[in-house]
Amino acid sequence: MATERTFSIIKPDAVENNHVGAIIAHFEKNGLRPVAIKRKQLTQTEAEGFYAVHAERPFFGELVDFMTRSPVVLMVLEGEDAVKKNREVMGATNPAEAAEGTIRKMYAQSIGENSVHGSDSPENAAIEIAYFFAATEIFS
Ligand code: CMP
């Protein structure tokens, strides 16, 4: 296993409910160190661009409305096998199917409002990190 970076979003539902600190602590306890953090209110254009791969899905409008309704916390997480590890720590996309002890099991309300986003591959992690962070904003 190699040290790797992945991209993470703490979504509006979790930020609104004051779970930012607990979620970051959970990542750190599981070997995922935030090496860049930014709190941001996404614009419609940013959210539509970020989720462009889902543009044809029936839930796309709902997803963009949700992601732009209040601030999010954007992060680059670094650790051993970070992409896979982050997906384990987050739990299943649908919180009803998420394992005990995962972030989505603990904090998420629904498949739409599911508290966190995490990259699904190292290739997408690189694209997603570059979408929101300059290389000069990331410090290992
Ligand atoms: P995320 O990992 O951020 O990537 C795409 C998001 O689309 C996903 O998390 C969910 O929040 C959202 N999503 C997936 N399926 C549905 C659905 N059936 N209804 C609403 N939102 C969904």
Which one, of 114, 132, 117, lies nearest residue 17 by Cα?
114
Q: Ligand 1, residues 57, 74, 93, 94: which to mutate, most atoms within 8 A of Cβ?
A: 93
User: Residue 103: its pLDDT value, please?
Assistant: 98
Tokens at residue 26, please? 């959970």
User: Which helix (H) or strand (E) is 77 found in, with range?
Assistant: strand 72-80
Ligand 1 centroid–CA 136 distance in Å is: 30
One digit per residue, the tens of pLDDT, for the chain of length 140 reads: 799 999 999 999 999 999 999 999 999 999 999 999 999 999 999 999 999 999 999 999 999 999 999 999 999 999 999 999 999 999 999 999 999 999 999 999 999 999 999 999 999 999 999 999 999 999 99
How would you class 72 by CB atoms within 10 Å of its CB: exposed for 0-12, middle for 13-18, buried for 19 or more?
buried
> What is the residue whose two structure tokens read 């860049």?
36
User: Residue 111: its pLDDT value, please?
Assistant: 98
User: Residue 1: its pLDDT value, please?
Assistant: 72
Atom 3 in ligand 1: residue holding the nearest Cα: 117
pTM of the model: 0.98
Q: Ligand 1, residues 114, 115, 116, 120: which to mutate, most atoms within 8 A of Cβ?
A: 114
Residue 111 Cβ < 6 Å to ligand 1: yes
- Positions marked active-site: 117
